[in-house]
């Protein structure tokens, strides 16, 4: 992964955190990593834990960013989410998977939030 992609990704994640906070989500953790996978943002929406995958692009040239959340990626995120919930002793809690897609084209980045983007996959 190039330095440009890495900085683009972290810029996208920072925008996503700001967006979620503005919509009254509580950010619990960023970039949670475990053997199974990684979660960009762990947040709370009321009583629901929300595992957020952030996809950032500079254009729509390869289609919308959310299409990059493949079934393989969904399985990795699901494994990481179960690990996170187990560590918090919250396996019975309500949880969902959201995707935030950010496209930098023009002056303002386009942010699209997709709640319940996919179901638990493992």
In DSSP notation, 84-113 reads HHHHTT-TTS-EEEEEEEEE--SSS-EEEE
**DSSP-derived secondary structure letter, 36:** S
Low-confidence ranges of the chain (pLDDT < 70): 1-5
What does pTM read for this prediction?
0.92
> CA separation (Å) from 77 to 51, 53, 106, 109, 113?
8, 8, 31, 25, 17
Q: Which fold has domain 3-118?
A: Trna Endonuclease; Chain: A, domain 1 (3.40.1350)
* Residue 35: predicted pLDDT: 93
Q: Report the C-alpha gap between 60 and 13 in whole angstroms.
A: 18
Report pLDDT digits (tens) over 51-72. Answer: 999 999 888 777 777 888 999 9
Cβ atoms 32, 39 nearer than 8 A: yes
């Amino acid at each position: 992964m190039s330095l440009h992609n890495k900085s683009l990704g972290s810029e996208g994640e920072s925008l996503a955190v700001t967006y979620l906070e503005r919509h009254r989500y509580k950010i619990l953790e960023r970039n949670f990593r475990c053997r199974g996978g990684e979660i960009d943002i762990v947040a709370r929406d009321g009583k629901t834990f929300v595992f957020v995958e952030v996809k950032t692009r500079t254009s729509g040239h390869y289609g919308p960013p959310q299409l990059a959340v493949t079934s393989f990626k969904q399985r990795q995120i699901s494994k990481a989410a179960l690990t996170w919930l187990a560590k918090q002793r919250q396996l019975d809690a309500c949880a969902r998977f959201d995707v935030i897609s950010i496209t930098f084209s023009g002056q303002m980045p386009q942010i699209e939030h997709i709640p319940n983007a996919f179901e638990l996959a493992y």
